[in-house]
């Protein structure tokens, strides 16, 4: 096994090109595919098995362009022909439908949470093959990164029949996607070389993204909705809440990712004496805020393994009125915050995700009531994420896939030129 010796300091701007070449850190492209190869692959992913003439219809590309791209994608190994589905009496390969060749490959997603890290294997459709959770290392930065890399390496060694193509990392804090460096104050990480460490340890290309941007990207690309052109060209607001709060905005089929990192809504005004009266959104609606209030009200014990959000949820569902009141209060504060964001940004589509919304769906009526009361704009429906409590793994998974989705031929060349040192 190669010893990982992460660089502890962020390189100067002139060294970024050398860093990218050495470590294969690739900025993620959280957008609907625009290039011809990506559009053809997307059509096969969303509608396959699919004939070439149908691909031309749904993409708007000429049949000659489609034929060239299909041939290149077959050669790259990401599409396969389905001769068994060819129309009877049809002559020539262009009449043979094609589909995604998903079985030989996987991508690896890693969601680094404040408390828990998820490692997820994803197929080329974006479907979760397997996921494991482990406590996020609390060691000093270099040791924590080495521990994460070792965990990912051990996990990949379990996959004997699929080849890993890419690694995607989704994390809180401020991400420099060009270099894969991360500032994460809650973990005590400063200019942490997450991308370079994983690329060196795993021998694969790595992309790193802000976790809320990643979740918005999953909604955009993996949410299962075949959006009409007019809708995908609009705007979508994604609001996240669990232990942290955040938002992301998609514009014209692309997640808006500022170079300086995502904006923050942690300090938005929030008023709730029941949840602590801190005056700021994140410290009012976080899991920790709910747990502190629940312990104070003796809904759960003061410490120990029973002092968890699951215990609060269980008490609420068993009829504990205090627990129900806490969760309703959290939902109402979140609904007011969603209304404020919606009124400022006025998106065409409004999505909420994270366990603060999805683990207690009974609370959505309180979210919607507070949202409706607070908003001064015309009615706009709130849509709950398509991924439920799996939103973190979906976000990490999509970061591991967007390179392939945007440029499948180039991504396969880059991935297969690397030599993973994980036994297969």
By DSSP bridging, strand 79-81 and strand 98-100 are: antiparallel
**Judgement on whether residues 144 and 199 belong to the same structural domain of the protein:** yes
Whether 407 contacts 37, CB under 8 Å: yes
Is the sign of the CA dihedral 98, 420, 152, 215 positive or negative? negative
pLDDT at 86: 82
pLDDT score of 304 more than 80: no
> How many domains, in total, are found in the chain?
3
pLDDT score of 178 more than 70: yes
**Judgement on whether residues 243 and 366 belong to the same structural domain of the protein:** yes
pLDDT score of 9 more than 50: no
Show the tokens assigned to 393: 């793994």
Q: List, edge to edge, every strand of the sheet that includes 245-251.
A: 245-251, 235-241, 349-353, 383-384
**Judgement on whether residues 252 and 374 belong to the same structural domain of the protein:** yes
Show the tokens assigned to 225: 């909705």
**Judgement on whether residues 239 and 355 belong to the same structural domain of the protein:** yes
For residue 301, give Cα distances in angstroms to 109, 292, 308.
35, 10, 9
Residue 277 sits in a domain of what CATH number?
3.30.420.40
Q: How many CB atoms lie within 10 A of CB 292?
A: 14
pLDDT at 257: 84
Please list, residue by residue across 298-331, b when 16 or more beta carbons sit within 10 angstroms of its beta carbon and e when fewer do. Answer: ebbeeeeeeeebebbbebbeeebebbbebbbbbb
**Judgement on whether residues 320 and 307 belong to the same structural domain of the protein:** yes
Q: Is residue 332 part of a domain?
A: yes
Q: What is the pLDDT of residues 56-88, one digit of tens each?
A: 999 999 999 999 999 999 999 999 999 888 876
Q: Which of 17-21, 164-168, 223-227 has the highest mean pLDDT?
A: 164-168
**Judgement on whether residues 41 and 85 belong to the same structural domain of the protein:** yes
Q: List, edge to edge, every strand of the sheet that includes 163-171.
A: 128-135, 116-122, 105-112, 163-171, 206-210
pLDDT at 92: 53
Q: Is residue 138 part of a domain?
A: yes
Burial of 339 (C-beta count, 10 Å sphere; 0-12/13-18/19+) = buried
Percentage of the chain modeled with pLDDT above 90 = 77
pLDDT at 1: 36
Q: Is residue 17 part of a domain?
A: no
Q: What torsion, rounded to 10 degrees, do the Cα atoms 246, 252, 255, 260 define?
A: -90
Q: Is residue 239 part of a domain?
A: yes
> Looking at residues 96-107, what average pLDDT do you find?
96
Runs of H (alpha helix) within 48-193: 52-59, 63-76, 141-156
pLDDT score of 260 more than 90: no
Show the tokens assigned to 329: 């209060």
**Judgement on whether residues 375 and 408 belong to the same structural domain of the protein:** no
pLDDT at 303: 77
> Residue 228: which pLDDT band, with cuts at 50, 70 and 90?
very low
Q: Is residue 5 part of a domain?
A: no
> Looking at residues 371-397, what average pLDDT do you find?
95
Whether 245 contacts 265, CB under 8 Å: yes
Q: Is residue 122 within a helix (H) or strand (E), and if so which, with residue range? A: strand 116-122
| Cα–Cα distance, 177 to 175 (Å, whole number) | 6
Whether 143 contacts 188, CB under 8 Å: no
**Judgement on whether residues 181 and 244 belong to the same structural domain of the protein:** no
Q: Where does residue 348 fall: left (phi above 0), alpha (psi -120 to 50 degrees), or beta otherwise? A: alpha
Show the tokens assigned to 233: 């060209």
Taking each helix axis from N to C end, the angle separating 321-345 and 364-374, rounded to the nearest 10 degrees, works out to 40
pLDDT at 115: 86
**Judgement on whether residues 284 and 262 belong to the same structural domain of the protein:** yes
**Judgement on whether residues 55 and 190 belong to the same structural domain of the protein:** no
**Judgement on whether residues 374 and 248 belong to the same structural domain of the protein:** yes
Domain, as residue range, for 150: 103-217+391-417
Residue pointed to by tokens 């949410």:
223
The answer, as to whether pTM is greater than 0.95, is no
């Amino acid at each position: 096994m190669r010893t990982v010796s992460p660089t502890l300091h962020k390189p100067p701007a002139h060294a970024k090109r050398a860093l990218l070449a050495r470590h294969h850190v690739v900025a993620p492209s959280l957008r609907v595919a625009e290039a011809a190869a990506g559009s053809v692959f997307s059509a096969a992913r969303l509608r396959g098995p699919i004939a070439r003439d149908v691909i031309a219809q749904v993409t708007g590309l000429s049949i000659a362009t489609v034929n060239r791209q299909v041939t290149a994608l077959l050669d790259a190994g990401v599409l396969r022909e389905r001769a068994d589905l060819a129309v009877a009496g049809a002559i020539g390969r262009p009449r043979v439908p094609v589909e995604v060749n998903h079985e030989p490959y996987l991508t690896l997603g890693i969601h680094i949470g404040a408390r828990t890290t998820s490692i997820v294997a994803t197929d080329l459709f974006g479907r979760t093959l397997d996921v494991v959770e482990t406590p996020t290392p609390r060691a000093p930065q270099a040791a924590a990164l080495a521990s994460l890399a070792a965990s990912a390496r051990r996990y990949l060694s379990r996959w004997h029949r699929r080849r890993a193509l890419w690694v995607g990392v989704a994390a809180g804090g401020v991400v420099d996607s060009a270099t894969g460096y991360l500032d994460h104050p809650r973990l005590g990480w400063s200019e942490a070389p997450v991308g370079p460490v994983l690329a060196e340890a795993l021998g694969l290309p790595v992309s790193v993204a802000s976790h809320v941007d990643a979740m918005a990207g999953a909604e955009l690309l993996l949410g299962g909705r075949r959006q009409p052109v007019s809708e995908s060209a609009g705007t979508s607001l994604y609001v996240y809440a669990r232990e942290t709060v955040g938002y992301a905005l998609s514009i014209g089929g692309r997640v808006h990712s500022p170079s300086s990192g995502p904006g923050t809504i942690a300090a938005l005004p929030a008023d709730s004496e029941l949840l602590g009266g801190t005056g700021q959104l994140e410290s009012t609606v976080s899991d920790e805020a709910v747990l502190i209030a629940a312990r104070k009200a003796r809904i759960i014990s003061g410490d120990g393994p029973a002092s968890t959000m699951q215990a609060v949820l269980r008490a609420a569902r068993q009829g504990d009125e205090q627990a129900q009141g806490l969760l309703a209060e959290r939902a109402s504060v979140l609904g007011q915050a969603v209304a404020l964001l919606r009124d400022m940004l006025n998106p065409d589509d409004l999505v909420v995700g994270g366990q603060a919304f999805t683990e207690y769906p009974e609370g959505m009526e309180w979210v919607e009531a507070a949202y409706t009361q607070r908003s001064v704009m015309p009615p706009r429906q709130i849509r709950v994420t398509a991924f439920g409590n799996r939103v973190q793994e979906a976000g990490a998974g999509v970061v591991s896939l967007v390179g392939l989705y945007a440029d499948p031929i180039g991504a396969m060349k880059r991935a297969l030129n690397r030599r993973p040192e994980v036994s297969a």
